[in-house]
Structures are given as C-alpha cells and as structure tokens.
Amino acid sequence: MKGNIYVYILIMAAVTYLIRVLPLTLVRRRITSPFIRSFLYYVPYVTLTVMTFPAILSATDSPWSAVAGFVTAMVMSFRGKGLILTSIVSCAVVFLTELILLP
C-alpha cells in the first residue's frame, strides 16, 4: 500500500522524540540500582558494536579478508596500540589478504 510520505515522517519523528523524552520525564530522581547503572553505562558501547560488526564483515569482497582485518584490529587493541596505528595496520592486512585471495 502506498501511503503519504509525510505521515511516515511524522510517525518516525514522534517515535524518536518519545524515546528521547520519556526517560527524562519519567525518571526524576537519581538511579541508585547498581545493575541499572551498569546496564546504562554499557548501552552506548553495545549499540556501537551492533552497528559496526556487520559492516566490518560486509565491507570487503571476501569475508576472509574482513575476518583477518577484524582479528588484527582486536589483537592490536588488546595490546594497547593506538586507534590510528590499529586502523592503518588492519586496512593493510585487508588489502594484502584480498590481494592474495582475489587474483
């Protein structure tokens, strides 16, 4: 069914607005529950991961090069390397893996 695009935009704006405003209006006092506080602390990291990981796997021509770049980035991150160095080396690993795997 074809509908009016402005109705869709209005509904989307209302839902987005409610998601942002309801917590501010419903929660008036400080959150003291350690469980809820830790849950809210990790929400941005989980959201970023959920959005980024599928993009990592589908950004290259071969899933093997994506996995190689991802593993390289994880190893370098856990070893405390900086973001720029990790990005450059991971991109180089993806490039070399695709150069070898895709003639």
Amino acid residing at 70: F
pLDDT at 33 over 60: yes
Q: What is the structure's pLDDT at 69?
A: 94
Alpha-carbon distance 19 to 32, whole Å?
22
pLDDT band at 103 (very low <50, low <70, confident <90, very high): low
Alpha-carbon distance 63 to 35, whole Å?
37
* Closest among 69, 75, 76 to 52, alpha carbons compared: 69
The number of CA neighbours under 13 Å toward the Cβ of 68 is: 18
pLDDT at 97 over 80: yes
**What are the tens digits of pLDDT across the range 40-84?**
888 888 888 899 889 988 888 888 999 999 999 999 999 999 999
Q: Over the chain, what is the mean pLDDT?
A: 89
